Amino acid sequence: MEQNPVIWLVIPCYNEEQVLPKTAPQFESIIQTLINERDIAPLSKVLFVNDGSKDATWEIICKLSEKSPIIEGISLSRNRGHQNALLAGLMEAQHKCDATISIDCDGQDDISKITDMIHCYKEGYEVVYGVRNSRDTDTFFKRFSAESFYKLLNALGANVVYNHADYRLMGSKALAGLQEFHEVNLFLRGMVPLVGYPSTTVEYKREERIAGESHYPLTKMLHLAFDGITSLSEKPIHFITGAGLLFSLLGFIGIIWALINVAVQHAVTGWASIICTICFFGGVQLIALGIIGEYIGKIYLEVKHRPRFIVAQRTWDDD
Ligand code: UDP
Ligand code: MG
């Protein structure tokens, strides 16, 4: 019989002092149960990543880890955002386990599906995506914006799994692959499909946050959406080039038309049409420059190649 896999749950936490005391025991008990039922190896753990929280989150993680041999934690040197915190946890865990399962700490992802994910892993899938089957618990606005976002991303050629956030299992081969992606503009759910390997999905129902508030208000959501698009797709740039060509052609036709007009009618051309044209092309050019600027900004960040996270503390001794 094949040996049971060592599974590490990786859970980013930012200002979650209200939530952690409630959800941590649930994570711990599911791992303990799976160990007891000999579904996974006894070395399996729950790893909390403190993403530079300003409240007592790290103290809570340390206390939990003292009490339970299953719970461990790392703390980043400052707040780096969900994606970076998650990557820090995955990179920390990859050499200590056979597979990681990333999950939010607010109780929104259905932890009973962890068992299904592990079964898929045992069947040979290297990546298992948790996919929401309904968005009943979301507001209409969140549902609408999220769904349009997935559609837009796919239309732009970025291959993201529909309705999948960051609840996923990744085997150590996929993690090693992910480590080879050195970009600092992180959008993990777009990067993991690029890593490849056989993958499958597990459906789950997303619950409401147990306590506290979402860290993704509209501005951050738009930011993530924009990051996702510009770090995964060059299509907006192609679109600009295409639009540029089209407008040059129209402009050329316009010039010919104007020349003919002058030759035939000696007409004084209208002031309004000139102003309209100037405004319109001014707008188009600004948008185009803006999009190109976004890409250049990304290149600037990538070229600097700053560390994506710095682990300041761990609940275990490094050797
Ligand atoms: N999170 C984080 N760093 C941040 C913001 C969020 O580590 O800067 C964590 C947060 O603690 C949670 C997960 O990322 O475990 C998802 O965040 P949240 O629940 O606020 O987002 P939503 O579920 O509303 O999309
Ligand atoms: Mg949440």
Which of 62-71, 162-171, 282-291 comes out lowest in average pLDDT? 282-291
pLDDT at 319: 61
Residue 81 alpha carbon, nearest atom of ligand 1? 8
Dmax over Cα atoms in the chain, in whole Å?
Answer: 93
Q: Print the domain residue range for 63.
A: 7-142+161-216+306-314
Residue range 128-142, pLDDT digits in tens: 999 988 777 777 877
User: Are 101 and 168 part of one and the same domain?
Assistant: yes
CATH number (domain holding residue 110): 3.90.550.10
User: Are 64 and 192 part of one and the same domain?
Assistant: yes
Distance from the CA of 96 to the center of ligand 2, in angstroms?
27
Mean pLDDT of the chain, nearest integer: 87
Predicted structure pTM score: 0.80
User: Are 211 and 182 part of one and the same domain?
Assistant: yes
Of all protein residues, the one whose alpha carbon is nearest to atom 6 of ligand 1 is 82
Is 229 part of any domain? no
User: Are 247 and 205 part of one and the same domain?
Assistant: no
Is 48 part of any domain? yes
CA distance 73 to 67: 13
User: Are 263 and 138 part of one and the same domain?
Assistant: no
> What's the mean pLDDT in 297-311?
86
Secondary structure, 3-state, the chain: CCCCCCEEEEEEECCCCCCHHHHHHHHHHHHHHHHHCCCCCCCCEEEEEECCCCCCHHHHHHHHHHHCCCEEEEEECCCCCHHHHHHHHHHHHCCCCCEEEECCCCCCCCCCHHHHHHHHHHCCCCEEEEEECCCCCCCHHHHHHHHHHHHHHHHCCCCCCCCEEEEEEEEHHHHHHHHCCCCCCCCHHHHHHHHCCCEEEEEECCCCCCCCCCCCCHHHHHHHHHHHHHHHCCHHHHHHHHHHHHHHHHHHHHHHHHHHHHHHHCCCCCHHHHHHHHHHHHHHHHHHHHHHHHHHHHHHHHHHCCCCCCEEEECCCCC
Q: Which residue has the higher pLDDT, 127 or 231?
A: 127
Is 221 part of any domain? no
Of all protein residues, the one whose alpha carbon is nearest to atom 24 of ligand 1 is 214
User: Are 211 and 66 part of one and the same domain?
Assistant: yes
Is 52 part of any domain? yes
pLDDT at 266: 64
Of all protein residues, the one whose alpha carbon is nearest to atom 19 of ligand 1 is 214
User: Are 171 and 94 part of one and the same domain?
Assistant: yes
Asked if residue 16 has its Cβ within 6 Å of ligand 1, the reply is: yes
User: Are 212 and 284 part of one and the same domain?
Assistant: no
pLDDT at 151: 85
Q: Which residue has the higher pLDDT, 24 or 305?
A: 24
Asked if residue 207 has its Cβ within 6 Å of ligand 1, the reply is: no
Asked if residue 12 has its Cβ within 6 Å of ligand 1, the reply is: yes
Distance from the CA of 10 to the center of ligand 1, in angstroms?
13
Is 227 part of any domain? no
Is 228 part of any domain? no
User: Are 196 and 79 part of one and the same domain?
Assistant: yes
Say if residues 49 and 9 touch (Cβ distance below 8 Å).
Answer: no
Of all protein residues, the one whose alpha carbon is nearest to atom 13 of ligand 1 is 104
User: Are 115 and 195 part of one and the same domain?
Assistant: yes
User: Are 207 and 121 part of one and the same domain?
Assistant: yes
> Percentage of the chain with pLDDT > 70?
96
User: Are 285 and 310 part of one and the same domain?
Assistant: no
Q: For residue 221, which ligand has an atom nearest its CA? A: 1
Q: Is the pLDDT of residue 303 over 80?
A: yes
> What's the mean pLDDT in 212-216?
79
Is 189 part of any domain? yes
Residue range 146-171, pLDDT digits in tens: 788 888 888 887 778 888 889 999 99
- Select from 215, 221, 224 the residue to mutate for testing ligand 1; criterion: most ligand atoms less than 8 Å from CB: 215
Is 50 part of any domain? yes
> What's the mean pLDDT in 80-96?
94
The count of domains in the chain is 2
Residue range 228-278, pLDDT digits in tens: 888 878 788 888 888 888 887 887 787 788 778 778 876 666 766 777 777
- Select from 82, 87, 138, 210 the residue to mutate for testing ligand 1; criterion: most ligand atoms less than 8 Å from CB: 82
pLDDT at 267: 64
Q: Which residue has the higher pLDDT, 272 or 52?
A: 52
pLDDT band for position 1 (50/70/90)?
A: very low
